[in-house]
Amino acid sequence: MDEVKNVIELKNVTKDYGDFKLDNVNFAVPEGTVCGFIGQNGAGKTTTINLILDVISRDSGEITLFGEPVSKDTAYLREDIGVVFDEMGFHEFMTGRDINIMMKNIYRNWDEEVFFDNLKKFSLPAKKKCGAFSRGMRMKLQIAVALSHHARLLIMDEPTSGLDPIVRNEIIGIFREFVVEEDHTILLSSHITSDLEKIADEVVFINGGHIVLAGNKDEILEKHGILKCKKNDLSKISESLIVSSEVSDYGAEVLVNDRHAAEKLYPDMVIERAGLEEIMIYYVNKK
């Protein structure tokens, strides 16, 4: 059996801004997967992405892309990376044709034919100024560019934020198509957990500059559960199972880190599956 390669690896990565610190971050993104990078706004997602892309310098730690340490000497690695941010990044007077001319001079592997095919596929007019595009069209334009230089890795920061469910679903379909090829990988930063539940294989959850949870998405969803009980019964639940709890006049709800163990220990209590959003909220509220 072939060993799984990690396309992205962070080891003990730190970046200290004084008022915010990305602290000793460790995670990996295996080749051929979609990794959902989740966390509330200000948790450190964009800082981490900028460090991976070497847009900002880290204070300490190691970052590797495609098995090579990221440094000023490895800018060529960006040829294999398509990047999509939540803002468009092109001058509003530019058309698809203008963007094509510009990108030809940036990427050695730029494929003009693929780009114009992508514009057609995403229903984007090549002659219209992109400043007149809707938010959904602007996002699809960035994705069209990212997919037109034969990138093996897509790194995206909140690409579906602010889009309606129809456009979000369309964009998720584009991502699915991209990862059909085995050597294609996506790191997708988002706080829209419902999108990640549809497409992600792996999940990395960051909060306050710390990684609090990382692993296979299905295993994380299978493991966690919401236990519902009376307030008086909360003290009966083993502290080792409790991530955090919410208490109201009607009772208590507890996120447990081992649903199956909790079901055996407390057969009379209601235990439901937890979604990524619930898991994120409970970990954020952990005391």
The pLDDT of residue 3: 64
Q: Is 79 helix (H, G, I), strand (E, B) or coil?
A: helix
CA-based R_g, the chain, Å: 21
Q: How far apart are CA 276 and CA 224, in angstroms?
A: 9
The pLDDT of residue 183: 87
The pLDDT of residue 32: 93
**What burial letters (b/e) apply to 214-241, b meaning 16+ CB within 10 Å?**
beebeebbebbbbbebeeebbeebeeeb
Nearest CA among 248, 118, 168, 266 for reference residue 156: 168
Q: How far apart are CA 98 and CA 89, in angstroms?
A: 14
Average pLDDT, consecutive stretches of 10 residues, N- to C-terminus, the chain (287 residues): 80 95 95 93 91 93 93 82 84 94 92 94 93 90 92 90 83 88 89 88 94 95 95 92 92 95 94 94 86
Beta-strand ranges (E) seen in 44-145 are 60-65, 68-69, 81-84
The pLDDT of residue 86: 75
The pLDDT of residue 6: 94
The pLDDT of residue 1: 46
* C-alpha distances in Å from residue 123, one per residue of 32, 76, 136, 168: 27, 31, 11, 15
Q: How far apart are CA 180 and CA 183, in angstroms?
A: 9
Q: How far apart are CA 148 and CA 273, in angstroms?
A: 40
Give me the torsion for CA of 3, 6, 12, 16, rounded to 10°. Answer: 180
The pLDDT of residue 2: 53
Q: How far apart are CA 57 and CA 223, in angstroms?
A: 36
Size of the chain in residues = 287
Q: How far apart are CA 9 and CA 22, in angstroms?
A: 15
Class of domain 6-220: alpha beta
